[in-house]
Amino acid sequence: MPVVQSSFVVTNALGMHARPSALFAKTAARYDARVSVRNGGGFVDGKSILDLLTIGAQKGTKLTVVADGSDADALMQDIRGLFDAAFGEK
């Protein structure tokens, strides 16, 4: 299975609060691939809103996202789109 890893910088003013975390998890849930997110420490489940909230990603935080599965490339493209659009909060 393909493994894809990318780094993203949180650019929206309030960071990864509830709305962006929900958008991330909802987007990831559309795919079969597993997705994990890291902010310095260990990885959390990218399909869990609560896990994403625990990483405390403020504006300017660099996150590492790893997707593992047959549709990992497509998942990562959609995740990149969320970050590029600042989760619709620009």
Active site residues: 17
Residue with tokens 């625990």: 54
Give the integer Cα–Cα distance in Å for 89 and 69: 30
